[in-house]
Chain A
Amino acid sequence: MRAFAYTPADSPEAAVRLAAEPQARYIAGGTDLLNLMKDGVQQHDRLIDINNLPLREITVSEDRVRLGALARMSDVAGHPGVRRRLPLLSQALLAGASPQVRNMASIGGNLLQRTRCWYFRDSTMPCNKREPGSGCSALEGLNRWHAVLGGSDRCIAVHPSDLAVALTALDATVTTLSAQGPRSIPVREFYLSPGDTPDRETVLRPGELITGLDVPATDRSAESRYLKVRDRATFEFAVVSVAAVVAVRHGVVRQASLAFGGVAPRPWRSPEAEQALIGRPLHAATVAAAGRALVRGAIPREHNGFKIPLVQRALADVLDGFGGRR
């Protein structure tokens, strides 16, 4: 790790001003950033400590939940209002990391955690995301954990956040502050596909600060579930995951919002899979059709083809519990 300057910020505006410096970076929990810096994956001249900013509140109102960006994963996961109104969010958070990490890691930082792709995380291996133009080692390498959907010939790394998958299904909005002022970004538009620029992962501008999240909590009739499939019982990233918010009335799907983790470089939505469900009875045939729609266009690599059947099975397993089935 290289030496860096450290400056605590005492207001969001001051933080944004400090971040005008190139190679400055915000630090909240530091659970990912410090590892990346120690491993030489990222180098920053200055860390701006935002932990003292008044962005930690969790507010549950009639139709929405507002999360301050500095609320810790454990704060949100254990919040009674969140558990009552948005159990999906709580489930997804508890499926991530370990209690120790959840006590440190902030909600805003969670959205910006970097991929677990090992070629990215070793600063001496070729990786287009870390070092544009150096090549992608995963395409022909060890890619069991890599994307089958939404990748490009430059990058097939997957986004690691469980929270982001749940927020995508819940259609949340990210609020930010930059030198240009505050703005709101739907989480579904927050992440970029890798295309030719896998080093660009989000629409955030340089120095833009995540201040919070707005999560709608309108449909009280919908059922939701987060299923995470992984290689050990806990403290491990998803091989595939499914976040589903589904409203079933009289056996017919009225509403379906699905998001998938572990299969794509960004939290993956499949409007086609949702459409395959909406207006149809929640039968095995419907579920199978949704699964097929989900993986249409999927590109398997040497070691990750199993994700294509696995994500369909995971989706079926989640839907199996809805609408009084099972």
Chain B
Amino acid sequence: MTKNKFPKFSLIGVICLLIFLFSGFFIIKKTSVSFYLIYVFLMLLWLVLTVLFMSMTMSDKRCRSWLLLIPFTVAMMFMRLCFSWNIIIPFLAVGLFAVFTDSAREIIRHEEQPLKQVICHFAVTAGSIIIYICIYAYMGVTV
């Protein structure tokens, strides 16, 4: 029985998404502590599922495409700190689409018939972003 190693570049994805979640934590304008707890729980669940499924559908077993999320995380933090851009969703969405685009190109390069796997990967990416937006909407955040 072979032991599956956790792809190390997925850790980059986990860290970047945690930064996004941490930034979103300050945008929520709820006074109740339970809302923050729900936010943390939902977002951690979302993070785990997103990283897990996106890594599973990637062609590269080392999941190097997660590296592309770094510039978007840095850009989001930079704009937040320097220009007070309190927005997260565009950075996160486009960052995840960048990850998808890169890994889709890898899939296209390695697979003979890549359509099915690319659609599956796209569905996972778009689905995770939609869930993210829904969680934010539940928390009263639209940006």
Partners in one complex: no
A: residues with CB less than 8 A from B are none
